[in-house]
Amino acid sequence: MSDKIKIAVDAMGGDNAPEKVIMGVSHHSNNSQDIIYNIFGDEDLIKNYLNKYKINNNYNIFHTKEKIAGEDSALAAAKKGKNTSMWMAIESVKLKNSDVVISAGNTGALFVIAKLNLEMIDNIDKPALSALWPNKNGMNVVLDLGANIECNEKNLIDFSLMGAALHKSLYPNEDPKVALLNIGSEELKGNNTIKNVYKTLSSNKNNLYEFSGYVEGNHIMDGNVNVIITDGFTGNVALKTAEGTANFITSELKKALSKNLLGKFSSLMNIKNLTEFKNKLDPRLYNGAILLGLKTPVIKSHGGTDYIGFSNSLKVCEKVIKGNLITKIKENIL
């Protein structure tokens, strides 16, 4: 790998693209060095925003007016072919012209096009969608969050390894502690698949992580574990529930503190604590889901996030390359 990290950026995906994307690149470039941004999309629009939002690292523009719409089905998006900004960005990592690819565009399309172009890591059967989730002591890595509705025992074991490798890449000073999301903490709880995975992970020690058994949904944020494994159906429901709960709490708190003069005064008196509380639940700070299992990292930014969220996704791109994510998975896969 060269000294500079090359990030392939789909500039045309997500809300308010490409302005939001270029703003995010600009913000990221102010805080990161030795980055090359390979930007794919409408050159005229991109240059217009580049003149407005300066980039402090090197960049290249690869022109195309074709893009994948948010309402396109995954199949329709794939049929649009090789001239879309998303396809070209993914192809850039396939051809090794970029180290990692990021898009805020159509999630289904991104996964399908990535799987069409990029090879799976040897002995990994299915890719998994992983994301960051705050806990009391730092950050959880949670997977799968929707790439696979049904998972067998090997899939969940593979997810444990990939999730631990991701956590170690992002947070090299912390030790990954893996737990299986379950309906109880007792060894006999759960279906046969998860109980068999529990037995396997308990008996097969791995140098990359410590297996910590089961974790229930109400203990995800306790901070006793930091890599949480589940199937895509359960993981997606858990994620959406947590997001909705966080939005509800912040919205209701805001209403309560602005309801009357006493509330407004109280919020002014506690502005530092309230700011810390808000930041802890700010989804932009944890933006950047990772499709694990392919030989090249694929990062999905939330389509509705703003430039701060997109910038944080670019930071995830940077960290997984600096942390040698793919190498860690390859070295530890059974």
Closest CA to 212 of 185, 232, 184, 249: 185
Measured in degrees and rounded to the nearest 5, phi and psi for residue 3 equal -65, -30
Virtual torsion, Cα 234, 241, 128, 91, nearest 10 deg: 150
The Cα–Cα gap between 50 and 26 comes to 8
The Cα–Cα gap between 225 and 36 comes to 35
162: helix, coil or strand?
Answer: helix
Per-residue b or e along 253-274, where b marks 16 or more CB atoms closer than 10 Å to that residue's CB: beeebeeeeeeeeebeeeeeeb
User: Can you give the pTM of this predicted structure?
Assistant: 0.86
Residue 124 has which token pair?
């990994």
In DSSP terms, 58 is beta-bridged to 36
Look-up of token digits 């991109």: 46
Cα angle 243, 214, 284; round to 5 = 20
Residue 91 has which token pair?
């192809």
Residue 205 has a pLDDT of 83
First to last CA, the chain: 25
CATH 3.40.718.10-classified regions of the chain: 1-123+293-323, 125-291
Q: pLDDT per position in the chain (334 positions), as tens? A: 458 999 999 999 999 999 999 999 999 999 898 999 999 999 999 999 999 999 988 999 999 999 988 888 878 888 887 899 999 999 999 999 999 999 999 988 999 999 999 999 999 999 999 988 888 888 899 999 988 889 999 999 999 999 999 999 999 999 999 999 999 887 778 889 999 999 999 998 888 899 999 999 989 989 999 999 999 999 888 888 887 877 787 777 777 767 766 556 565 556 666 566 566 666 777 777 899 999 999 999 988 889 999 999 999 999 999 998 998 898 887 6
Architecture of domain 125-291: 3-Layer(aba) Sandwich (3.40)
Look-up of token digits 């799976």: 120
172: helix, coil or strand?
Answer: coil
Q: Residues 1-123+293-323: name the CATH superfamily.
A: Isopropylmalate Dehydrogenase (3.40.718.10)
User: C-alpha distances in angstroms, 316 versus 65, 132, 250, 309, 323?
Assistant: 27, 10, 25, 11, 10
- Are 114 and 294 in contact by the 8 Å Cβ rule? The answer is yes
Closest CA to 286 of 179, 175, 130: 130
